[in-house]
């Protein structure tokens, strides 16, 4: 089969499940149930090992469960120790290639859970001195999955992995914000025209524009961090539907305690385990926060593309770093490819948010079997946003330069300067000046002097662009 790059010797071991027997290559740490999933789900072609954080979180969950079962006297300490050692190896990144199930799968995540159970069991067997597949000594279901169901182990691992992944996204976001702040300081002295509805408005500085980008993104840090806290409530011990069948009464609290210690996260047992097993509200909220960030990033990239348009026939107020030739037919053309790719990432995130919404709504009774597509969409959103933010910062924002003379010339030629005359000449007179400027092509400054509406000294003070980028009191002298 072509689903793994693991080199095979041709030797196999025989395994069985509900549907029958199957020969498994001896090099595979996964077993028959994982193989069934590989045969069934050729969907996204994105496998579990594409998201190492998920594998790490699965190892956390299985180690926490083993520790709780050991403490309760349900699991032989030697087996629990072997499971723990196998999980520690997974957290170090070993055996990632053995996680081969497609992220998009039927079965509410059972294939993912069994992929983890089988890999951990077979590695534990080796640590115990046995061969892979000798499940009498450490069984994927009887030992690694003891006191668990896919319906509590899978969502718990997902929540742990997503919480960590969003923390990583926040780190990338902070670096992007810092890059915009740096440009805000660099461009603080450059006067330009602000625009509303793509029309001239009033003067501002290019620095103010870039500081605004930093500010709007800074707001998203709180949104992301607030929503990811929803992932800290877990349903370990709920087993199948939340009633805790096949689990010791003390297991849920004990397993949660071990998971807090293993992960370092402030995890807590859900107050209503039946609700927690079927509810996907935390996924919806976090998806919404990611979408909001994506929308803001896309808007900023729209602005960067407009501000750098031209260079001769556009705004040309800033220059984006040239990254590649822009056309196969037009020599000399350079396109804003970095903002363009961020725009496209935003579109995908918005689409995935709709997928998550529909999948969450599709839950029925005591379980939402659509969680795999929710999980895949969320991990994809985080992965793409992190890559997009890093790319935007490294290959675009840090290299942006300004065209100060172009910016200043536009300010002096703009009819928008008339707004500053409102307090002195009134709205009607200012409107008349704007209309005449449009019809004649003359500047506002010249028209005011021509009509002797203000002295040259007073006009100079009022229309000095640097005096129009902050609130100020009316000039009376």
Domains of the chain: 12-146 (1.10.275.10), 153-238+261-404 (1.20.200.10), 414-468 (1.10.40)
**Average pLDDT in the 303-313 region?**
94
**Separation CA 147–CA 126 (nearest Å):** 23
**Average pLDDT in the 70-82 region?**
98
Q: Output the CA torsion sign for 346, 348, 349, 350.
A: positive
8 A C-beta contact, residue 416 and residue 200: yes
Cβ-count burial 80-107 (b if 16+ within 10 Å, e if not): bbbbbebbebbbeeebbebbbbbbbbeb
Q: What is the pLDDT of residue 156?
A: 98
Least confident window among 17-26, 222-231, 277-286: 17-26
Query: In the numeric block, which tokens belong to residue 73?
Result: 């006297």
Helix axes 52-71, 150-186, angle to 10 degrees: 140
Least confident window among 152-161, 310-319, 350-359, 458-467: 458-467
Least confident window among 183-192, 322-331, 366-375: 322-331
- Cα dist. 459→329, 410, 425 in Å? 50, 18, 11
Q: What is the pLDDT of residue 1?
A: 47
Q: What is the pLDDT of residue 2?
A: 56
Strands 12-17 and 191-196: unpaired
Give CA 277 to chain center in angstroms: 24
**Separation CA 45–CA 50 (nearest Å):** 10
Q: Give me the DSSP letters along 152-176.
A: HHHHHHHHHHHHHHHHHHHHHHHHH
pLDDT band at 3 (very low <50, low <70, confident <90, very high): low
**Separation CA 181–CA 306 (nearest Å):** 20
255-269 pLDDT tens trace: 999 999 999 999 999
**Average pLDDT in the 420-435 region?**
90
For 220-276, strand residue ranges (E) read 233-234, 268-269
pLDDT band at 476 (very low <50, low <70, confident <90, very high): low
Catalytic positions, written as ranges: 327
**Separation CA 291–CA 385 (nearest Å):** 10
pLDDT band at 343 (very low <50, low <70, confident <90, very high): very high
Q: What is the pLDDT of residue 35?
A: 93
**Separation CA 389–CA 397 (nearest Å):** 10
177-213 pLDDT tens trace: 999 999 999 999 999 999 999 998 889 999 999 999 9
pLDDT band at 363 (very low <50, low <70, confident <90, very high): very high
**Average pLDDT in the 351-373 region?**
96
Percent of the chain with pLDDT over 90: 82
Mean per-residue pLDDT over the chain, rounded: 94
Which of 62, 91, 98, 101 has its CA nearest to residue 79? 62
């Amino acid at each position: 089969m072509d689903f793994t790059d693991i080199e095979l010797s041709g030797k196999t071991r025989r395994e069985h499940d509900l549907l029958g027997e199957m020969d498994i290559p001896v090099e595979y740490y996964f077993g028959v149930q994982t193989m069934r999933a590989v045969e069934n789900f050729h969907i996204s072609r994105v496998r579990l090992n594409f998201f190492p954080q998920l594998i790490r979180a699965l190892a956390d969950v299985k180690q926490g469960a083993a520790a709780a079962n050991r403490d309760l006297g349900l699991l032989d300490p030697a087996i629990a120790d072997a499971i723990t050692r196998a999980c520690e190896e997974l957290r170090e990144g070993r055996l990632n290639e053995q996680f081969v199930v497609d992220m998009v799968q039927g079965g509410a995540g059972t294939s993912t859970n069994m992929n983890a159970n089988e890999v951990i069991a077979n590695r534990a067997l080796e640590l115990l001195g046995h061969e892979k597949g000798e499940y009498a000594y450490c069984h994927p279901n009887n030992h690694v999955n003891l006191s668990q169901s896919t319906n509590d182990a899978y969502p718990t691992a997902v929540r742990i992995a997503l919480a960590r992944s969003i923390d990583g996204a926040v780190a990338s976001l902070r670096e992007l914000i810092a890059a915009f702040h740096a440009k805000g300081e660099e461009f603080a002295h450059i006067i330009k025209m602000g625009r509303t509805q793509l029309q001239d408005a009033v003067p501002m500085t290019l620095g103010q524009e870039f500081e605004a980008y930093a500010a709007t993104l800074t707001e998203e840090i709180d949104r992301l961090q607030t929503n990811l806290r929803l992932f800290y409530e877990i349903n370990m011990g709920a087993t199948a539907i939340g009633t805790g069948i096949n689990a010791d009464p003390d297991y849920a609290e004990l397993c949660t305690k071990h998971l807090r210690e293993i992960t370092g996260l402030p995890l807590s047992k859900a107050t209503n385990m039946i609700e927690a097993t079927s509810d996907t509200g935390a996924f919806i909220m976090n998806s919404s926060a990611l979408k909001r960030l994506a929308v803001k990033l896309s808007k900023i990239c729209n602005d960067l593309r407009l501000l750098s348009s031209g260079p001769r026939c556009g705004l040309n107020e800033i220059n984006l770093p040239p990254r590649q030739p822009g056309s196969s037919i037009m020599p000399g053309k350079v396109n804003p490819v970095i903002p363009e790719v961020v725009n496209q990432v935003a579109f995908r995130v918005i689409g995935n948010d709709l997928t998550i919404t529909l999948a969450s709504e599709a839950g029925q009774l005591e379980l939402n079997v659509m969680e795999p597509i929710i999980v895949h969409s969320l991990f994809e959103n985080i992965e793409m946003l992190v890559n997009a933010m890093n790319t935007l910062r490294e290959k675009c924002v840090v290299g942006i330069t300004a065209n100060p003379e172009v910016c200043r010339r536009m300010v002096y030629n703009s009819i928008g300067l008339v707004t500053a005359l409102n307090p002195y000449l009134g709205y009607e007179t200012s409107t008349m000046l704007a209309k005449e400027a449009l019809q004649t092509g003359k500047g506002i400054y010249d028209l005011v002097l021509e009509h002797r509406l203000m002295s040259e000294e007073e006009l100079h003070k009022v229309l000095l662009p640097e005096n129009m980028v902050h609130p100020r009191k009316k000039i009376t002298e």
